[in-house]
């Protein structure tokens, strides 16, 4: 079910067509994911069905913390305007998210960015828990590998029993690549995203992936609960999941388009 929604949603992201037209007087829910490598806006209907999405690559966030406030606001304003143009309605409310344990200050900044982009901010939730909401997880572990951090949420019988975050993410892959090739971060980021060089790139960043799995294995205060679902834009490598699962010593799974799981889950929290 989640994969079907992700496959359909991916077809409309950054296009000029929504999954369906807005009905007269219809209101929508919005999710804002201020990521280290991109800012994503998702639009859902009141039944949590994805309707539209847009994103832009950015450098406004580092390790889950907003470091360039105005850039974040301007990008979000552009994404909001694009979504409103496609849907033909004004988007008024949104929900944001932060990595776990980044504190009240981080939450307040995300709220301020959302409000500066002319949304009413209904909530700020933690990222892996938002991912778990989209995946309708009752028992299991969600590992959200963002640009800056690895966030882990563990669920049992529908209850969140542990949540944690470590500063190792896609940006650390970029740093390792840059160091190995003696190139700057921007060039390393482009290299990381080059599908033709995926095998070579993954050989260089493999230790970072193994570290992410070790964090998942040893970091939480309770044992990891299966199934383990890994999400986030940094995991789109063919060998990522096999490598991660081997270090974790248990199976791991990735949904289709893992970069959209958390942003869609964030949008599901946008209600009064």
Q: One digit per residue, pLDDT tens: the chain, 272 residues? A: 789 999 999 999 999 999 998 988 899 999 999 887 789 999 999 999 999 999 998 776 665 666 688 889 999 999 999 999 999 999 999 999 988 877 788 899 999 999 999 999 999 998 888 999 999 999 999 999 988 889 899 999 989 999 998 889 988 999 999 999 999 988 998 899 899 999 999 999 999 999 999 999 999 999 999 999 999 988 989 999 999 999 999 999 999 999 999 999 999 999 86
Mapped onto helix, strand or coil, the DSSP state of residue 63 is coil
CA dist., res. 146 & res. 58, Å (int): 13
Q: Can you give the pTM of this predicted structure?
A: 0.91
Domains of the chain: 2-131+260-268 (3.30.420.40), 137-254 (3.30.420.40)
Q: Using N-to-C axis directions, what is the helix angle for 127-134 and 261-268, rounded to 10°? A: 90
Mapped onto helix, strand or coil, the DSSP state of residue 217 is helix
Residue 27's region, left for phi above 0, alpha for psi from -120 to 50, else beta, is beta
**Structure-block tokens of residue 140:** 């299991």
């Amino acid at each position: 079910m989640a994969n079907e929604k992700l496959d359909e949603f991916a077809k409309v992201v950054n296009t000029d067509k929504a999954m369906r037209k807005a009905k007269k007087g219809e209101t929508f829910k919005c999710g804002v994911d201020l990521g280290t490598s991109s800012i994503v806006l998702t639009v859902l209907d009141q039944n949590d069905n994805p309707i539209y999405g847009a994103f832009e690559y950015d450098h406004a966030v580092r390790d889950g913390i907003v470091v360039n406030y105005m850039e974040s606001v301007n990008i979000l304003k552009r994404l909001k305007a694009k979504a409103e143009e496609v849907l033909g309605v004004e988007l008024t409310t949104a929900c944001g998210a932060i990595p776990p344990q980044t504190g009240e200050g981080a939450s307040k900044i995300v709220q301020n960015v959302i409000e500066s982009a002319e949304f009413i901010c209904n909530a700020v939730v933690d990222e892996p828990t938002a991912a778990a909401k989209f995946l309708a997880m009752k028992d299991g572990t969600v590992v959200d590998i963002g640009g800056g951090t690895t966030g882990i949420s563990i669920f049992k019988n529908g209850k969140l029993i542990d949540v944690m975050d470590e500063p190792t993410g896609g940006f650390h892959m970029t740093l390792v690549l840059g160091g190995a090739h003696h190139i700057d971060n921007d060039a390393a980021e482009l290299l990381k995203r080059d599908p033709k060089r995926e095998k070579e790139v993954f050989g260089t960043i493999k230790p970072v992936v193994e570290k992410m799995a070790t964090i998942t294995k040893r970091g939480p205060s309770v044992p990891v609960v299966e199934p383990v679902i890994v999400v986030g834009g940094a995991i789109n490598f063919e060998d990522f999941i096999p490598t991660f699962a081997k270090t974790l010593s248990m199976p791991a799974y990735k949904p289709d388009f893992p970069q959209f799981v958390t942003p869609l889950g964030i949008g599901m929290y946008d209600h009064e």
